[in-house]
Amino acid sequence: MVKPQDRPAKVERVDDEVLIDGPDGMTASLTPEAALETAQRLEDKAKEAMGARSGGEPERSAAD
């Protein structure tokens, strides 16, 4: 398993694309629609992970 990063990714818009530049060379170029869906998924899973950290929710697998 890869060590989780504690630094957020940089995000910018270039023309009609959303670019993600994360730690350790992680990069992505997304359509606006894909970026919005990804943002929602990230928010949902981040909330689950924070709940699991505090004992509020059971851990979920990466496949959820």
pLDDT tens per residue, range 24-50:
899 999 999 999 999 999 999 999 999
Closest alpha carbon to 18 in 45, 5, 36, 44: 36
Structure tokens at 46: 């981040």
Closest alpha carbon to 30 in 15, 49, 47, 8: 15
C-alpha 31/C-alpha 37 separation (Å) is 10
> Of the ranges 10-14, 32-36, 46-50, 57-61, which one carries the lowest mean pLDDT score?
57-61
